[in-house]
Structure formats: C-alpha cells, structure tokens
Chain A
Amino acid sequence: MENLTVKEKFNWPVTILLLLGLFTVLFPLYMTVIIAFKQPSEMTNDVIGLLSFPKAWSFDNFREAMRVTDFWRSLFNSFLITAVTMIVSIAIHSLMGYAVARNMNTSKFYRFSYFYVVSGMFVPFAILMMPLVKQTAQLHIDNMFGVIVLYVVFYMPMNVLLYAGYLKNIPVALEEAAHVDGASTWTTYWKIIFPLMWPMHATVAVLTALGTWNDVMTPLVIMSGSGVNTLPLAQLNFQTQFGTNYNLAFASYLLALLPMLIFYLVAQKQIINGVINGAVK
C-alpha cells in the first residue's frame, strides 16, 4: 500500500556498485561451472585454457557424478539429517535461549548455564572426536540419529548465544500482559515469544543447515562402516591423494549447492516477513 502513495526512489549509485561487486562472487562461480562441464583431457595449466568454455556443454559429468555419489539416496540422507537437525535446533535452542535470557540477570544458575553452554563453542572438535566415536558406539547411536544428536549439541552454543542476544530486544512487558490474562509460561512462549523471533529463527536455520549440509567429518567418523552416505561423504569419491577428478567433483558440488540456494532464498523471505510482522505490532 505504502509503495503506491510514496513513490519509491532507488539508490542507483549503490545498486551499480553492488552489481559491479558481483564480479568477485561470479568469477569463482564461473570457474566452477566451466570446470564442471569440461573433460579431464581439457584441463590445462595456462590461463586461457582455464578460462575458456568447454568444448561441448554436455551433462555427462553431472550424470556420472550422480551415479558415483548415488545422488538421490545421498541427497535424501543429507536432507533428512539437515532438516531434522534444523527443526530440533530451532525448537530446543530457542527455548534454552529464552530460559537463559529471562533469568540471567536474576539467577546465578542461569548465568552459569549461559556461560557453560556458550563456552562449548570453543572446544576444538578434534579433541571430542575420538571420545564421541566411542561414546556413540557404546550407546548404539553410531547412525544418523546419533549424528543428529551431535549436531544439535554442536550448534547449541552458537544458537543459544544468538537467541539470548535477540531476546534482549523483546520486552518482557509482552509476556507479563499474557500472564495477567492467566496464560502459562509455556503457552506464552509458543504463542507470543516464538513467533516474534522469526528473523532469528531464519538466521539460525540458515547457519545450522549450512553447517550440517556441508559437514564431512561428523558423519565420516560416527557412521563409518555403516554404508550410509551423505552428499559430502559421497563426494570424497572424487579425490584421493593420487588423483583428483576435479571435473566430476565440481559437477557434484554444483548439484549439492542447488537445494541450499533454494532454501536460502526461502529463508531470506522469512527474515523480511519477520520484520513486516514486527512492524505490524
């Protein structure tokens, strides 16, 4: 509605600068695409050869990459792990962030809990890896379920930090009003606070999803020998110390990139919608 009444004036100099700046993003991407289409015999070590188009725009590399990685099955596993991790993370981490943010200033316990969880962010994964391998095996969760549990724990510190920070901007008065009306804390949270945090949910979703989607190490060590592959695990097929097929590898990277790109575009709309909702209040 507003767009019609106030005529929108675009900031063209900034737009043009941003468009020019896109070169820094597009150039490496261009390299990825042309390498993905080339054959190993077309790979050269000189600049012109590197930048030139492939001889033929054939999708053979993509087909072969899909076959080698057992694409649909790996995609499904990756998708399942990422989606479940994301949903569980948003639910649990936002709750924890809420509990911490609302009590940190009055309670030593929550203050301690906050620093305890957040400090987990700084633990180098390499030191946890071997003990975790042993622990997940003993609990018989050396499978996708275990990987999801580990992700939910890994991303907890950062997400709690983000949520707790965001809740500082949401006034307590809103909840108090609901309390007066007799709603429980639990209901108030889901009815009032949770929906207010959409922009942060979107950010957390993007961060968590990207981290899990691209991660190799955790599924590699936790699920080794189980025969279950995720996309990044399957992509290891393309490189060994004694030879890398960059063409197939890049083709498969491009394939793995698409779902995330779509996801991001959706999430981005959510961030903007969240603000519109906020403006409505």
Chain B
Amino acid sequence: MRKVLLFSLALVLCIAGTVHAAPVEIELVQYKPEAFRTFDMLAEKFNRTHTNIHLTISSPNEPVTILKTRFIRENYPDIIGIGGDMNYSNFQDAELLADVSDYKGLANIKKAYIDILEGLEFVPTPGIFGVPYMANAAGVLYNKDIFDAHGWKIPESWPEFLKLCDDIKAAGVLPMYFGFKDTWTTLAPWNALAVDLAPADVCQQVNLSRTTFTKEYRETAEKIFALLKYAEEGPFAYSYNDACTAFARGESAMFVIGNYAIPQILSVNPNLNIDSFVMPGSDNPDGQTLNSGVDIMFCVMEASKHKDAAYEVLDFLLDPENIQLYVDDQNSVPCQTGTFKLTPMLDGMRKYIDAGKMADYQDHHYPSEMAVDAQIQTYLLNGDMNAFLERFDRDWVRYNRDIITKLQKYNASH
C-alpha cells in the first residue's frame, strides 16, 4: 500500500516537473551587511525578470564567521560576495573557489582590479577566482566649506601637505581627527602612504627574501608619525565612531579614511559638504598613487552545481543599469569599464580612478592574526621606529611561515 502511494507521489512529482520546470535555486551570500537594502532590491528585481532561476541573497551580520562556519559544515552557497583581502586569499588557497576565467563578463572589468586579485593569491595559480564588482578608495576626506572659507588648496606633494596642515593649525582649526582607539583605523593613513612609498608587491618580495620591511617601510613609518602632531590630543582615546562624529560636526578640517566612512559621517550631519583627495605621500607630485582595492567581488564556489545559472546571476549584477543602481546607493566605485555617474564626494580622486593609477591596500596582504594595526598603534604610542620595523620583519616570518615555504617551493619548481 505504502509503496503504491509513494510511487504515485513520485509520478505526480515527475509530471509536475516536466510541465512546470522548477527554477534553479541560486544562493548568494555577501559580506557587506550595510548594503543589505541594495542587495535585497537587486534580488527582487532579478526574480521578477527571471523565471528559470530563483535567486536568494543574504547579507548576514558577522559574515566572515558565518561563511567560515558554513564551510566547516560543507554547506556552501553558490556565490559569495567578499572583499579582496586575506579571506579571499585563504579561501582561494583552500581551493573553495571555482575558476571563472571562462566567464565572458570578465572582459569588461578593469585590468587593474583583476591584477589586484592575482596579487592576493599566496602562490600564483592559473585561472581567475573572482569577478571584481565594486572598488573602494581611501585617502583624505575634507570639509569643503572650511577649505573654501580659508581658500586652502589641495596639496599635491608631501611638503605641500605638511604646509597645508601647518596653515590649518595656524588658522586655529584642527587639521585632522583620528580614531586610533580602534586599531584598524591606523591602517587608513598607513595604507594611503604606503601605496606611494613602498612597492605594491612588497609582501611577495619579502616572502621571496628579496627585500625587508625595515628597508621598504621606513619612509611610511616616518611619515605616519609626522601626522600625529596635527591630530587631536590623545587620538588613542577615541574610536572610529568618535572620529566620524567629530569630523561630521566640523571639529576637524580633514579625516584620513576611505569612502566607506561617508555614510556614517552623513548619519551625524547629513548636510556636510565633503570632498576627497589622494594622500600625497610622495615628495614628487607625479609619484602619488590612489589607494583603492576591491570592496566586493563575486566568487562562484567550487561546490556549486549550477555554474551556468551562477553566471547568469553575475550577468544581471554586472548589467550597467544595476551597477549604477548600486553605485548610487553605496557611494562606490565600479570595477567595470564604461561611464558611470559617481558621487561628487569622490571628485578629488576621480582623475586617478579614470587613469587607473591605483594600488591595493597593503594590509590586504597582512595576516589578520599578526595584528599589524595594533603594531602600528604601539609604534605611534611609543615612537620607537626601529623596534617597530624590526618586529615587523621578525613577526612576518613567523606568521607567514607556511606561505613562505609554499611560495619558495613553487618558485623552485617554476
């Protein structure tokens, strides 16, 4: 009896299946909870226009923990939206990500960003493992009203920048506010200076024992320390949120941070007139580079059974119309070629973006457990540059031991 029932049930299901093909389920997990509204909207639009695929996008809090725990359970989504940082390197190294070099949409992605992804691989691997979607840019945000009122000009070299800071200070205005209590904020000026002053592949060079951080980071270390005297007293007492609040309330003329801070600043003061410029770390005006990295990219998981459907989702997300939608919502910079309307708050960086004169955040190559941000904070507190640089080199070898061995083995065999 039961068998018959089951059989007929299966039959009914089969018939239903042929008449009305169930759509392929695609699950996308993306790591920017602050962008959940935008993604919800995109998913809704996708499902409205596609009947063969049903797309679910989730934007969890604590996304990296959630992704890792899901990987432990071998419960993989089809696509993940992550940043171009160490997590990507680790996932790629763990062979969790599929090679997407056969994806046609890659042709329209700016080469600079594909190169950034290549640079993030521990060991050069043939293939491309992510489709860069949006970039972020870091440098100096400034209060346009204060600048205009005093007639200050945008500096183009390090001496000009110091001169500007002195002028601002002389005018009785605080040049910049730091939130160094949150150690990660020390990386904002660090990265912005390092892209101008150190080679982009310095970490790989060190892994191959071709140079040392003591040599390459000395100037960056000197210059980041020089900024302290232009900041509020005791910047180590204030958090990132405090710094955003202070800048939003016009308590400082500048804020060395990235475009990701703009929404938080505007939440305190929606009328603030913000613009930005590239941190002029080099003494030579032609030597400046914009600090820009992959803010979000899409990786198809190796375990996904529906690669074609996943590509169709990517086609949709990379549609210029949808990119513009995302850009308007999130003040981001698209990784795709073509003309898009960007937020005027990034006008000062536009020239560099268009020319592709940019380099990735150096900290994207630092293992998070090494806590370089905390080491920079320690250095800024005690001012002992030699100790800082020595420790950087020493700790680097210890925290990257397995990667160095792997890379050297690779180099020996290639």
Partner of A224, one of B69, B74, B261, B267: B69
Contacts of A245 in B (CB 8 A): 267
Taking the closest CB of chain A, its distance from the CB of B311, in whole angstroms, is: 23
* B125 in the interface (beta carbon within 8 A): no
How far is it, in angstroms, between the C-alpha of A28 and the C-alpha of B8 when the chains are bound?
66
**Known contacts A41-B268, A45-B242; A240/B61 CB under 8 A:** yes
* B413 is an interface residue with CB less than 8 A from chain A: no
CB proximity to B under 8 Å, residues A210-256: 220-221, 224-225, 233, 236-237, 240-246
Among A134, A236, A241, A245, chain B packs the most CB atoms within 10 A around the CB of A241
Contacts of B72 in A (CB 8 A): 130, 133-134, 137
Contact across chains for A237 and B33 when beta carbons are under 8 A apart: yes
Does residue A40 face the partner (Cβ distance < 8 Å to B)? yes
A contacts with B, residue count (CB < 8 A): 24
- Determine whether the beta carbon of A142 is less than 8 Å from that of B65: no
Quick check: A220 and B267 within 8 Å, CB to CB?
Answer: no
The contact of B263 among A45, A130, A243, by CB within 8 Å, is: A243
Contacts of B70 in A (CB 8 A): 224-225
Measured between beta carbons, the chain B residues less than 8 angstroms from A137 are 72-75
Is A266 an interface residue when CB atoms closer than 8 A count as contact? no
A-contact 0/1 string along B249-281, CB 8 Å cutoff: 101000000001101100111100000000000
Q: Are A236 and B62 in contact (CB under 8 A)?
A: yes
Is the C-beta of B214 less than 8 angstroms from some C-beta in chain A?
Answer: no
Interface string of B119-133 (1 = CB under 8 A from A): 000000000000000
Interface of B is mostly: helix
Instruction: Decide if B411 is an interface residue (CB 8 Å cutoff).
Output: no
Contact of B69 among A133, A240, A241 (CB under 8 A): A133
Interface residue A44 (Cβ < 8 Å from any Cβ of B): yes
| Cross-chain contact A134 with B62 (CB below 8 angstroms) | no
B34:A220 contact, CB within 8 angstroms:
no
Most chain B CB atoms below 10 A, which of A43, A243, A245: A243
Do residues A244 and B69 form an inter-chain contact, with CB atoms below 8 A? no
In the complex, which residue of chain B has the Cβ closest to the Cβ of A130?
B72
Most chain B CB within 10 A, of A43, A130, A242, is at: A242
A166 to B60, CA, bound (A): 44
**Partner of B60 from A44, A130, A225 at Cβ < 8 Å:** A225
Q: How large, as a class, is the contact surface on chain B?
A: 20 to 34
Q: Could you tell me the distance between the alpha carbons of A233 and B29 in the complex, rounded to whole angstroms?
A: 17
Contact residues in A for B242 (Cβ distance below 8 Å) = 45
CA distance A134 to B70 in the complex (A): 9
Q: How far is the CA of A243 from the CA of B330 in the complex (A)?
A: 14
Q: How far is the CB of B162 from chain A (nearest CB, A)?
A: 26
On whether the beta carbons of B264 and A243 are closer than 8 Å, the reply is yes
CA distance in complex: A240, B241 (Å): 11
A144 to chain B, nearest CB (A): 16
Q: Is the CB of B184 within 8 A of A241?
A: yes
Q: Which residues of A contact B134 (CB under 8 A)?
A: none
The smallest beta-carbon distance between B43 and chain A, in angstroms, is 15
Distance between Cα atoms of A241 and B34 in the complex (Å): 10
B246 at the interface (CB under 8 A from A): yes
Who on chain A is nearest to B70 by CB?
Answer: A225
Residue of B nearest to A242 (CB): B260
Are A221 and B65 neighbours in the complex by a CB distance under 8 Å?
yes
Interface string of A127-159 (1 = CB under 8 A from B): 000100110010000100000000000000000
Contacts of A236 in B (CB 8 A): 61-62
Q: Are B263 and A242 in contact (CB under 8 A)?
A: yes
Which of A45, A221, A224, A233 lies in contact with B246, CB distance below 8 A? A45
Q: From B244, which residue of chain A is reached at the shortest CB distance?
A: A243
Give min CB distance, B94 to chain A, whole Å: 14
CB distance from B261 to the nearest CB of A (A): 7
List 3 tightest A-B contacts by C-beta distance, closest first: A243-B264, A236-B61, A137-B73
User: Could you list 23 A-B pairs, sorted by A, with CB under 8 Å?
Assistant: A41-B268, A41-B270, A45-B238, A45-B249, A134-B72, A224-B70, A225-B29, A225-B58, A225-B70, A225-B75, A237-B33, A237-B61, A240-B33, A241-B184, A242-B240, A242-B264, A243-B34, A243-B244, A243-B261, A243-B263, A243-B264, A243-B267, A246-B241
Binding site for A on B (CB under 8 A): 29, 33-34, 58, 60-62, 65-66, 69-70, 72-75, 184, 238, 240-242, 244-246, 249, 251, 260-261, 263-264, 267-270
Name 15 extra pairs, CB < 8 A, besides A236-B62, A241-B184.
Answer: A40-B267, A40-B268, A45-B251, A130-B72, A133-B72, A220-B62, A224-B60, A224-B66, A225-B58, A225-B75, A240-B33, A240-B34, A242-B34, A242-B264, A243-B264
